[in-house]
Amino acid sequence: MGIDGGPRTAVVIGAGVVGLSTAWFLQERGVDVTIVDRDGVAAGASWGNAGWLSPGLAIPLNEPGVLRYGLRSLLDRSAPLHVPATPDVGLWSFLARFALHCNWKDWGRAVRANLPFNEECLEAFDVLTSNGVETPTTEAPIMAAFATKKQAVGLLHELQRINESGLEIKYTAFDGDAVGTQAPQLSANAQAGIRLDGQRYVDPGAFTHSLARAVTARGATIRSGFRVTGVDTVPGGLTVRSSAGDSVTADAVVLATGAWLNQLGKAWGVRVPVRAGRGYSFTVPTDEPVPGPIYLPAVRVACTPYQGKLRVAGTMEFRDADAPLYQRRVDAIIASARPLLTGVSWEDRTDTWVGPRPVTPDGRPLIGATHAPGIFVAGGHGMWGLTHGPATGRMLAEQITTGKQPEALREFDPTR
């Protein structure tokens, strides 16, 4: 420990954007950091997501309409929200808890809790990109498109509720032929649209790798292939053990393992279950350049300019985090998005990917101290780990080094 009682060294378990952001901001506060990961940098959800930095759309998953939609789609294997038939008692228990939180009161609580993160997320990215993280963020509106005006009503109501919560989102509604003027990829079937201004996007894999390079340039060590089996309290700190018999000792430990968080977190008083809400993505060429992100809310598909092409991401599949990719899910994304998009070469897709997003039943992530002294948790962000990752790392680094919980983290207590 340092003279002021704060940690001088830390081990971060997890080399995704949340773990690496925490490492960077710990370094900013004078802490020497080692990052360990079972696979490597950006091996999980940090690589293949849509790459949106979208405070205007970082909406908790437990919106009441999701429950109604989910119940209707349970038996449809091609639906954007999919729960496979399984005897997994833990999954059905999680879904039951999730269903209990699908009401406007709990949704509103999660929206208000996320407010500081949505207000600070872009600034936190700017801190990183101004101080050694080379991959830039790109400003662009997000264009949400629908087949009918009726379909757009739900998102309009959500945006109004969010504005009432205190986060100002600027948006403009379009209909008819005006929708297609917002992006050449929108087909004539898109007859209603909502443009959200003040948003950004980034190449998520490139950003995470650039963040890793910045962290190592500042003196950190990243150890890949380090599968953590436990953490022991020892004289002088905490020892993180691996399955290969290696170990790292430090004053503090941060668990940032995404959908695998409960494997270690349960032993430290983390009672909120985290399940893998798996998302799929792939990349396709387009006839014309893509001006900015396109969102198809009715079919839960997000599209983003990506390396001169279009990254298409979608689905929420509650299956084991390490389960293989299911081609049926990719086919379902294409079938649902094809009518609303044009000039897209669906058959020439590359980079087909599946990854687990860490979902909590109450729509709030787990960030802060556990019951074990010196051990902290950062995870459970659902679909918004990239958007909120740097802000999470910034606030958690403050708590770790000062011993004081920032007000913004009160609602995210991992032992709640």
Look up the CATH number of the domain holding residue 157: 3.50.50.60
Host H or E run for residue 386: helix 385-402
CB count within 10 Å of CB 44 equals 28
pLDDT in tens, the chain (416 residues): 654 668 999 999 999 999 999 999 999 999 999 999 999 999 888 899 999 999 878 888 888 777 666 555 555 666 666 676 677 888 889 988 998 998 999 988 998 999 999 999 999 999 999 999 999 999 999 999 999 999 999 899 888 888 887 888 899 999 999 999 999 999 999 999 999 999 999 999 999 999 999 999 999 999 999 999 999 999 989 999 999 999 999 999 999 999 999 999 999 999 999 999 999 999 999 999 999 999 999 888 999 999 999 999 998 888 889 999 999 899 999 999 999 999 999 999 999 999 999 999 999 999 999 999 999 999 999 999 999 999 999 999 999 999 999 999 999 999 99
Report CA 383 to chain centroid distance, whole Å: 4
pLDDT at 74 (0 to 100):
57
Compute the distance between CA of residue 243 and CA of residue 229 in angstroms, rounded to an integer.
6
CB count within 10 Å of CB 265 equals 25
pLDDT at 17 (0 to 100):
97
Assess if residue 132 is contained within a domain: yes
Ramachandran region, residue 49 (left: φ > 0; alpha: ψ -120 to 50; beta: rest): beta
Assess if residue 155 is contained within a domain: yes
Compute the distance between CA of residue 123 and CA of residue 128 in angstroms, rounded to an integer.
9
Compute the distance between CA of residue 412 and CA of residue 143 in angstroms, rounded to an integer.
30
User: What are the tens digits of pLDDT across the range 371-385?
Assistant: 999 999 999 999 999
Assess if residue 275 is contained within a domain: yes
Angle between helices 17-28 and 385-402 (to 10 degrees): 40
Assess if residue 3 is contained within a domain: no
Assess if residue 312 is contained within a domain: yes
Token pair of 263, please?
């494997």
pLDDT at 68 (0 to 100):
64
What residue type is assigned to position 274 of the chain?
V
Assess if residue 19 is contained within a domain: yes
Assess if residue 233 is contained within a domain: yes
Rounded to whole angstroms, the maximal C-alpha distance in the chain is: 69
**CA-to-CA separations, 132 to 32, 81, 242, 306, in angstroms, rounded:** 17, 38, 31, 22
Assess if residue 4 is contained within a domain: no
Number of domains in the chain: 1
| Sign of the alpha-carbon dihedral angle for 105, 114, 381, 379 | negative
**Structural domain that includes position 391:** 9-412
